[in-house]
Chain A
Amino acid sequence: MADNALYILLCSGEREKIQMAAMMAAVAAVSERPVQVFVSMNAMLAFDKNAPLATRYHGGAFAKLLHDQKAPDPMVLFQQGKDLGDLKMWACSMALDIQGWEMSHLDETLFDGPLGLTKFLSDAESGQFVTL
């Protein structure tokens, strides 16, 4: 992976943080930076493909504003990053186990597969690391 790669560890289920992760991932990917996103903990719940978009997120005052103002949904931004740039998304294998989920529980067009934290951290040694 290139040394300008961006690695995002996304753990929060808050709309505000997922929105920022999606914005960073999409913009970096279309700016010729390889991006990898590792989704774990509460953030995983937002990627449940069976959950209605309106109930996927929680958050504070800004989450309501994002919803009311019809800001682009984070899932759409992640997908745009994948379609237009080098963006890979990984589902934390531990979080999948804890939830009792298979990869089929998540949107297959968004995720590249399950991954362990050790591998993600190892890959991330060569780039910039952001936690949300």
Chain B
Amino acid sequence: MSEKTIVDARGAFCPGPLMELIATLKNIAIGDEVDVWSTDKGSVTDIPEWCKKVKHECVGVVEQQGYWSVLVRKAK
């Protein structure tokens, strides 16, 4: 059963949300997910691009009220 960790990076400037995601990925198991909450517009493109480059899975990006939720699954 995979677990989901929420990283509330709202208010953090680029590249803060990405760096918080990466630090969290180091401490979870393969298959677990991280839901990054970000108010940084760049996260919407930066996090999926980073996932593609380093071979993690970006499950989806959802716009919430005043922030974005970017869901990432640790793949390796």
Give A contacts to B, CB under 8 Å. 23, 26-27, 30-32, 69, 71-72, 77, 80, 83-84
Contacts and interface: CB of A to CB of B under 8 A. Distances in A.
Interface string B6-25: 00000011111011001100
B28 to A, nearest CB: 14
A69 B40 CA distance: 13
B54 A27 contact: no
Contacts of A84: 19, 22-23, 26
Nearest to A22: B15
A69 B12 CA distance: 10
Contacts of B53: 31-32
- Pairs of residues from A and B, 4 with the lowest C-beta to C-beta distance, nearest first: A71-B13, A80-B19, A30-B22, A27-B15
5 contacts: A23-B14, A27-B15, A77-B15, A80-B19, A84-B23
B50 interface: yes
A32 B55 CA distance: 11
Nearest to B55: A32
Given A69-B13, A71-B13, A26 B54 contact: no
Nearest to B26: A84
Contacts of A32: 53-54
Contacts of A71: 13
Contacts of B15: 23, 26-27, 77
B9 to A, nearest CB: 11
